[in-house]
Amino acid sequence: MAGELPFEKPLVELHDKIKELRRFTEEKGIDFSDEVKRLEQKAKELADQIYGNLTPWQRVQLARHPERPTTLDYIQLLFTDFMEIHGDRLFGDDQAIVGGIARLDGRPVTIIGNQKGKDTKDNIRRNFGMAHPEGYRKALRIMEQANKFGRPIICFINTSGAYPGKAAEERGQSEAIARNLRQMATFGVPIICVVIGEGGSGGALAIGVGNRVFMLENSYYSVIAPESAAAILWRDSSLGMRAAETMKITAPDLLELGVIDGIIPEPFGGAHRDVAMQADAVKKVLLEQLEQLSQLSPDELVQDRYEKFKQIGEYASL
C-alpha cells in the first residue's frame, strides 16, 4: 500500500507480515498457510475496525490524501468530449481552478473544479489548489456562459481555501468570492456541487452555491481549515485534530446540520483505493439529480437555490 496514513500503519504492518510468511512458504517450503489464514482474518477485522470507525481527523487526512482523485480525474472518467476553457479575460488563467464544457451521457454540461496538483511541480503550477481572484473570476465567466446557453453546471470542490497572499488581496479576493456567491444565486440552470476532498472556507463556497450539494463520504467541509480554526480559537495550530472533532465538518455532520443533500459512499479505505468505482458512484448521483432538476424552470431553479440556503442556520426566538 503506497501513501498510507499514520492510522493505517497497524494494517500495513499486518499485510507486510502476511506477505513475508507467503514468501517464506514459497522459498523455504515451510507451510505457514494456517498462520497466513489467521492473519488474513485478523487483517480483515482490523480494517473493518479502522475504516468503519473513522474519526473526523482521520477523514480530514483521507480528504487530503496525495493520491486522492482530483477534479481532472473525475472529468476524465465521468464525461466525454471535455474541452478545457481558460482565463478570466481580465488578468490571467489561474490553474488552481479548471473549467470547461463536456458531455455527461451525451448531454452538454459545464464543469468547474478546484484543481490540486498530482506532484510537486504540478502543485506549484496549481498553487496547491488555492485560487487567486482570477480563478474565481474565471469560474464565474464560465458559469455565466453556461447560464447563457442553458447548460447545467457541475462543480467539484477540493481546496483548503482561497489563497491568502498579497497579490490576492490587492486584486480583491473578497470581492471575487462575494461576487460568485451572489451571481451563482441568479443562474437559471441546475447547479450540482460535489465536495470531493477538502471543502475549505470561502474558497470552496465560491463555487458551492448549488441546488444540490453532495459530499464524498471522507471529504470535509468547514468554515476554515481545522488547523487555522485551532489557531484562532486556542492560538495553537497544532490542535487541528481537536478542532476537527469539535467543529462538525464531516459529511454525516453536514447532512445532520441540513447543509448538504446527501453523502456519496467511498470505496473501503478511501476514494483513491478504487477511483473507477468512486467515479461511478459520483456519476450515478449526478445523473439522478440532473434528471430531477431538469423538471424545474429557470425561475424555479433560482427559487429552489434561494430557499435551500435561506433555511440554513440555527437560532432561537426570545
Partner 1 sequence: MLKDLFGKKRKFATVPSENLTRVPASGDQAKEAGVREKEVPEGLMNKCPHCGTIHYSKDLEKNLRVCKGCQYHYSISAPERLALLLDDGVLTEEFDTDLITSNPLGFPGYLEKLEQDMANTNLNEAVVTGEGLLEGNRIVVGVMDSRFRMASMGSVVGEKITRAIERAIDRRLPFILFSASGGARMQEGVLSLMQMAKTSAALAKLDRERLLYISVLTNPTFGGVSASFSSLGDYNIAEPGAMIGFAGRRVIEQTIRQELPKDFQTAEFLLQNGQLDMVVHRKEMRSTLAKLVEMHTSTPREGVETWQESSPLKSLS
Exactly one of 23, 89, 182, 284 binds partner 1 (CB under 8 A); that residue is 182
95: cell is: 490553474
Strand partners, 157: 195
- DSSP one-letter code for 108: E
Exactly one of 41, 55, 80, 174 binds partner 1 (CB under 8 A); that residue is 174
Burial of residue 244 (number of CB atoms within 10 Å: 0-12, 13-18, 19+) = buried
Within residues 188-227, the interface with partner 1 by CB under 8 A covers 201-202, 205-206, 208-209, 221-224
Does position 42 bind partner 1 by CB under 8 A? Answer: no
| Contact partners, residue 221, CB within 8 Å, separation at least 6 | 157, 195, 199, 204, 215, 249, 251, 254, 259, 260
Nearest approach in angstroms of CB 92 to partner 1 is 16
Does position 57 bind partner 1 by CB under 8 A? Answer: no
Distance in angstroms (rounded) separating the CA atoms of residues 199 and 82: 24
Does position 255 bind partner 1 by CB under 8 A? Answer: no
Contact, 247 vs 200, CB < 8 A? no
Nearest approach in angstroms of CB 188 to partner 1 is 12
Number of residues that bind partner 1 (CB under 8 A): 56
Does position 157 bind partner 1 by CB under 8 A? Answer: no
Contact, 212 vs 192, CB < 8 A? yes
Burial of residue 310 (number of CB atoms within 10 Å: 0-12, 13-18, 19+) = exposed
Does position 299 bind partner 1 by CB under 8 A? Answer: no
Does position 249 bind partner 1 by CB under 8 A? Answer: yes
Residue with grid cell 474565471, as numbered in its chain: 138
Exactly one of 1, 12, 90, 232 binds partner 1 (CB under 8 A); that residue is 232
The stretch near partner 1 (CB under 8 A) out of 82-90, 102-110, 158-166, 290-298 is 158-166
Exactly one of 144, 246, 274, 275 binds partner 1 (CB under 8 A); that residue is 246
Q: Which residues bind partner 1 (CB under 8 A)?
A: 162-166, 168-175, 177-179, 181-186, 201-202, 205-206, 208-209, 221-224, 228-229, 232-235, 246-249, 254, 257, 259, 305-306, 309-310, 312-318
